[in-house]
Amino acid sequence: MGKWEHYEHTADVGIRGYGDTLEEAFEAVALALFDVMVDVRKVESKECREVEVDGEDLMALLYSFLEELLVLHDMEGLVFGDVDVEIKKTNEGYRLRAKACGEPLDYEKHGPKEEVKAITYHEMEVGRLPDGRWMAQLVPDI
């Protein structure tokens, strides 16, 4: 599993995920996104949702993926603490399939932090680091 972090940004918070594979970096940045909202270590995998998105490039794929997770949060009140991603190259770009597991937001249990309003392309990067690992980052709208 990849690791993630938040990084300082002028008025918001940046999220960054790392992994030995592209999939691990996407999984890690998804957890970083939800950790902006709640303490993801307290989220149990009680309900799972399947997500499938396409993107013409890796940044469009990341945007669509995180947007889908945010829509599930907004529509169903779910927070996710476990994400499994599979990415395939297609003729049109990339296709991502993911299984995101979590549970309904419980204010007492999860200790809500910030509300993420939208996914943005602000400071978005997806690529390999000099050590060969993958990194994915962006600054969501809070």
Please report the pLDDT score of residue 11 as a whole number.
Answer: 60
- How many CB atoms lie under 10 A from the CB of residue 93? 13
CA distance 90 to 48: 26
pLDDT given for residue 128 in this prediction: 97
Q: What is the pTM of this model?
A: 0.91
What are the 10-residue block averages of pLDDT along the chain, 142 residues in total? 64 88 98 95 97 98 98 97 98 97 95 91 95 96 89
pLDDT at 12 (0 to 100): 75
Domain residue spans in the chain? Answer: 4-138
Exposure class string for 100-132: b at 16+ Cβ within 10 A, else e: bbbbebeeeebeeeeebeebeeeebebeeeeee
* pLDDT number for residue 9: 58
Distance, C-alpha 63 to centroid of its chain: 9
Task: Check residue 31 and give its pLDDT.
Answer: 97
pLDDT of 3 reads: 74
What pLDDT sits at residue 29?
Answer: 97
> What is the CATH class of 4-138?
alpha beta
Q: What is the DSSP string of 77-112?
A: -EEEEEEEEEEEEETTEEEEEEEEEEEE--HHHH--
